[in-house]
Amino acid sequence: MKEGQPKAIYLKDYKVPPFLIEETNLHVDIHDDVTTVTTTLKVVKNSEAASEDQVHLVLDGSKDLATQSVAIDGRALTDNEYRVDDDELSVFEVPEQFELTTTIQIKPQDNTALEGLYKSGDMYCTQCEAEGFRNITWYLDRPDVMSKYTTTVVADKASYPILLSNGNDIDRGEEGDRHWVTWQDPFMKPAYLFALVAGDLQHIEDEFVTMSGRKVKLQIFTEPHNIDKVDYAMLSLKNSMKWDEEVYGREYDLDVFMIVAVESFNMGAMENKGLNIFNTSCVLAHPETTTDAAYQRVESVVGHEYFHNWSGNRVTCRDWFQLSLKEGFTVLRDQQFSADMGSPTVCRVNDVAVLRSAQFPEDAGPMAHAIRPDSFIEINNFYTATVYEKGAEVVGMIRTLLGPERFRVGTDLYFDRHDGQAVTTEDFVKAMEDANGVDFTQFRTWYRQAGTPVLDVTGAYDQSAKTFTLNVKQSCPATPGQDQKDPYHMPLKVGLLDEEGNDIRFPVLGLDVSSVDEASGFSAILNLTQAEQEFVFRGIESKPTPSLLRGFSAPVKLRYEYSREELRFLMSHDSDGFNRWEAGQRLALDVIQEIVGQIEAGEEVTVDEHLMAAFDANLTQALEGDKDPNLDKAMIAHMLVLPATSYLIEMSEVANVDAIHQAREAVRTAIAKKLSGLLLSVYKLNQKDVPYQAQAQQIAERALKNVALGYLMQPEDTEMVNLCVYQYESATNMTDRSAALRALVGSAAEAAQEPKEKALNDFYNRFQHEALVIDQWFAIQATCSLPGTLERVKALMDHDAFDIKVPNRMRGLVAQFAMNNIVNFHEASGGGYEFLADRVIELNGINPQMAARILSPLTRWRKYDEERQALMKEQLQRILEVEGISPDVYEIVTKSL
């Protein structure tokens, strides 16, 4: 960090770039001790910029660039013709257009921040988004500067036989023990999409023929020991390419598409043009080492990065405030893709669960920001659930308001109009309006306002007039810097159920409806635009039960006083699959909140019969599958999962962590005891001896079986422990083996204590050479809710296999503990907080981006009791006092204190 405090930058200060870089020529000469980068840029003054900004050329860089020389049009500059400050190179009084050549030296082997060029194990790789390219060379490192890249990579032939960069390889050669390859990318791109890889890699190859008949070579590279785990990613890639042609009319543009798997990576994957770089966790898959959930993640991330080729690369962002332009839209695209590949309802349930447990708390916390923020200190802190997941919901609402066909007309116009440009979220909304002749003026509120809106809904039936009136009030809580909120324009999808549970086909005349949906029942999409609105449904013969916010049509908290009977009714009759799940979640939430009250009042805990009956019905349905054809096994498995502790906390004013945990456990135990017979039958029925496939039916059966196992292990029962041990030992796939291990580790039963240590040892020995499985081994222990886990986590820090510098390993132990072990992290002594603060301080000097990311649980202190608040703030204060605090960590800590 430079002297003084890090400064915020503002969207309102945006100016077009003073210079443009038409061509970029890189020569990267890799040696084990030092890497030399020689860069030649064809620079011109930007005719749209102010001339007073064009006297000196100022390039972005970092203090780690050891500048060897600077030349203009082949003439080396003298010391008084340029100046290097820590992270800026100023070249004085430059001509209209010129060729600038710089030579710098870097040490990628020492780059632990994993931004720019760095080493993951034995291979070299890059990560340039958002501002990593400036760690490789002096450059105008901003997304609105797009250039044509030619890159030559030179390295030792034996150690780095594979040399990759973006585009097509146009030349190669060798000299002595070194070799080189030149790559050229015909598409103009911003620096953040640059990539380079050098390593001893193997690959698999396939081909995709595009809709216009062009052949594209597909390659996936890994280190040799992982080459048996990339077939599923290849299949997912081909499915993605086909899907984007069919659904969005988007064809791939280069002759080759490459994916490289790397072990040390700060996030999931990166969409570099033609050369995606993936965290191994998002590309490798094999039945013995990969769970079903991880298989599904591979499919969705492969899709996501591929879809960026259009939504992000061909049409990119003007500046980083526009990040949601590419991320929100691309998340929506990957969600649609996963839905089309599997079950749409299950996907929607999962997506909403993520939104609620990750984004809602963010929107309610000190870092709350709009999907298009207006300022930031460190852009890496804004790769958030808000920009991604809420961003996807916002684009999804445009789709819901327009309907799929008109949305497609809108995206076609957007891609055609802006191909090759760096644009804004405003350009996106404008294209949607222009293509469809609609007015989204009010809708734009979603882009500038933070906070989760609340809908307070009441319903009144008038028997004599045969009307049902919905009164909807919308509000949005204040967030930092935004006290007053304007009403949003949002789609509220509703249906009305008659007494038999069938959808009423009500007349929509006179209602403000943007469309009617008859796909599986009958719904109307109401246009909400005002702070308070009334919708009168006419011709309703008897008192209906409203099904509100079907499909979760807007990212809001909806409040409606449903009775428990009504929720049970919706659970078994709603034609909207999402709302059937939602009714179950509401019922469970209501019951758990009631028990929290009982615990706080020192009363005896009783679990309401409505919830027990609902679980009974779901389990019965799981056994007699044909009873209700709309409720498949995958959905039942989801309906048997209680709301996550993080969501329960989010839904409380001041969260009593211990009472919430106890209440949730009490419900689990009550279900397990009362319904043990049904649970065991469901378990046995879904225990199949078939070769593993990552296919919907099998995934659903494993999910159901393992949810049942979780409940069966809840009471302390020796027989069930034996069953679990048997599953652990006989499992032929990672889904079953890890579920059994997790259940054993989480069991307080006396009989489980010895088997759990035995299984943990076995698991470690069996998979010690599989890094991703060892990450799971750490995570299973870190997320155990039994007392004593913090001590175990601390001890695991000293394990030979633990390395805080490798993000996957760090996340497996530290982040899993802090984020997914709420009861132990918030242990009353504050030991969990101190542990996390220690890790943040340690990581601050190693990998600031990771340090800032794991910090977020401490920033949520407002949700907890006074003692915990004080302890959490104390740790934040301690972090703030660290010498050399990175801008990443500084921003999060100062905003949250």
Distance of closest approach, residue 135 Cβ to Zn ion, in angstroms: 21
Distance of CA 509 to the CA centre of its chain: 41
If one asks whether residue 591 binds ligand B3K (CB under 6 A), the answer comes out as no
Q: Which residue among 65, 72, 104, 130 contacts ligand B3K (CB under 6 A)?
A: 130
Q: Which residue among 383, 428, 443, 777 contacts ligand B3K (CB under 6 A)?
A: 383
Interhelix angle 657-674/676-685, nearest 10 degrees: 80
Compare residues 305 and 389 and give the one whose CB is closer to ligand B3K.
305
Compare residues 223 and 334 and give the one whose CB is closer to ligand B3K.
334
If one asks whether residue 193 binds ligand B3K (CB under 6 A), the answer comes out as no
Nearest to 376 by CA among 296, 239, 480, 283: 480
Residue 144: which residues within 8 A CB-CB, separation 6 or more? Answer: 16, 17, 190, 318, 319, 422
Compare residues 129 and 770 and give the one whose CB is closer to ligand B3K.
129
Distance of closest approach, residue 816 Cβ to Zn ion, in angstroms: 23
Compare residues 327 and 574 and give the one whose CB is closer to Zn ion.
327
Adjacent-strand bridge partners of 467: 462, 538
**Contact region for ligand B3K (CB under 6 A) — 43-51, 214-222, 266-274, 759-767?**
266-274
Active site residue 594: no
- Do residues 728 and 759 touch, judged by C-beta distance below 8 A? yes
Distance of CA 384 to the CA centre of its chain: 8
Q: Which residue is nearest to ligand B3K (CB)?
A: 129
Q: Which residue among 25, 151, 322, 380 contacts ligand B3K (CB under 6 A)?
A: 380
Q: How far apart are CA 582 and CA 495, in angstroms?
A: 14
Distance of closest approach, residue 127 Cβ to ligand B3K, in angstroms: 7
Size of interface with Zn ion, in residues (CB under 5 A): 2
Distance of closest approach, residue 284 Cβ to ligand B3K, in angstroms: 17
Nearest to 30 by CA among 175, 159, 191, 184: 159
Quick one: what does residue 123 bind among Zn ion, ligand B3K, none, with the CB cut-off 5 to 8 Å set by partner type?
none
Distance of closest approach, residue 717 Cβ to ligand B3K, in angstroms: 45
Distance of closest approach, residue 312 Cβ to ligand B3K, in angstroms: 7
DSSP 315: B
Q: Which residue among 305, 608, 827, 891 contacts ligand B3K (CB under 6 A)?
A: 305
**Catalytic residue selected from 223, 305, 389, 701:** 305
Q: Which residue among 1, 77, 247, 267 contacts ligand B3K (CB under 6 A)?
A: 267
**Contact region for ligand B3K (CB under 6 A) — 268-276, 408-416, 613-621, 667-675?**
268-276
Nearest to 131 by CA among 448, 381, 419: 381
Nearest to 556 by CA among 655, 654, 477: 477
Interhelix angle 657-674/696-712, nearest 10 degrees: 100
Distance of closest approach, residue 109 Cβ to ligand B3K, in angstroms: 21
Q: Which residue among 60, 64, 129, 888 contacts ligand B3K (CB under 6 A)?
A: 129
- State residue 130 phi and psi, 5-degree precision: -85, -45
Compare residues 306 and 728 and give the one whose CB is closer to Zn ion.
306
- Do residues 362 and 385 touch, judged by C-beta distance below 8 A? yes
Residue 114 region by backbone torsions, left for phi larger than 0, else alpha for psi between -120 and 50, else beta: left
Joined together, the tokens standing for residue 384 give: 């958030």
Quick one: what does residue 383 bind among Zn ion, ligand B3K, none, with the CB cut-off 5 to 8 Å set by partner type?
ligand B3K
Where are the extended beta strands (E) located within 529-677?
Answer: 532-538, 545-547, 557-559
Report 277-336 residues binding Zn ion (CB under 5 A): 327, 330
Residue 711: which residues within 8 A CB-CB, separation 6 or more? Answer: 640, 668, 671, 672, 675, 679
Residue 591: which residues within 8 A CB-CB, separation 6 or more? Answer: 607, 608, 610, 611, 667
Q: Which helix (H) or strand (E) holds 579?
A: helix 577-600
If one asks whether residue 270 binds ligand B3K (CB under 6 A), the answer comes out as yes
Q: Which residue among 271, 363, 503, 701 contacts ligand B3K (CB under 6 A)?
A: 271
Cα Rg of the chain (Å, integer): 28
If one asks whether residue 717 binds ligand B3K (CB under 6 A), the answer comes out as no
Distance of closest approach, residue 238 Cβ to Zn ion, in angstroms: 20
Residues that bind ligand B3K (CB under 6 A): 129-130, 267, 269-271, 304-305, 308, 327, 380, 383
Which residues are catalytic, by number? Answer: 305
Residues that bind Zn ion (CB under 5 A): 327, 330
